[in-house]
Amino acid sequence: MKTLLLFLTLSVLVLFSACSDSPTQNVSEDVNTDQTETKTAPHDTEVAKDLEDLNLNDGEKWKADSSTHKGMNTVQQMLTDFQGDTKQLGKDVKDSLNAVIKACDFKGKDHDQYHIILHAMLKEAKKLKKGKTNDLSKMQAYVDAYYEHFEVGDIE
C-alpha cells in the first residue's frame, strides 16, 4: 500500500511538473528525460519520504481533535497570507505547531498518523526559521497532506 501510494504521488507530481513547463515542449519527452527527474526529484522525493508512512484509515480520513484542526487552519492561513520574511514565518509556524502540541488531547492511530505530518512540518519550519530555505512548497505539501488525511471529529 505504501509503495503504491508513493508511486502514485510521484507519478502525479512528475506529470504535473511536466505539464507546467514551457507549453512548446512535448510532455511525453519531459516525463522520460533525466533532466526533468533531476529537476523535480529532490523536493518531491523528500516530501514523499517524509510522508511515506502516512495513510488513510481504511480509506477514510483520520480524526483530529478540534485544537489540532484549528492549529492547522492557522498554519494554512499563514501560508496563504505570507508576504515576505520566511524566517519570521518559520518562527510563527513553529510557535503554532508548539501550541498544537501543548493543546493536543488525542491518542492512538489517529495521533500517530498526525505525528508523521507534524514532524515533517517542524523540520521544515526549523529550516525556514534558520534561513536555510525560502521555498514554501514543501510546507504547503505537508499542510495539504493534513487536509487530505484528517478531519475534525470525535476522538476515540
pLDDT (tens, 9 = 90+) of the chain, 156 residues, equals 444 444 444 443 333 333 333 333 333 333 333 332 333 345 678 899 999 999 999 999 999 999 999 999 999 999 999 998 999 999 999 999 999 999 888 889 999 999 999 999 999 999 999 999 999 999 999 999 999 999 987 655
Q: Cα(96)–Cα(137) distance, rounded to whole angstroms? A: 18
Instruction: Please report, for the chain, how many H helices and E strands are present, in that order.
Output: 7, 2
Helices 86-103 and 108-129 pack at an angle, to 10 degrees, of 160
Yes or no: say if 60 and 105 are a contact pair by the CB < 8 Å rule: no
pTM of the model: 0.70
Distances (CA, A) of 122 to 4, 6, 21, 48, 128: 26, 22, 31, 16, 10
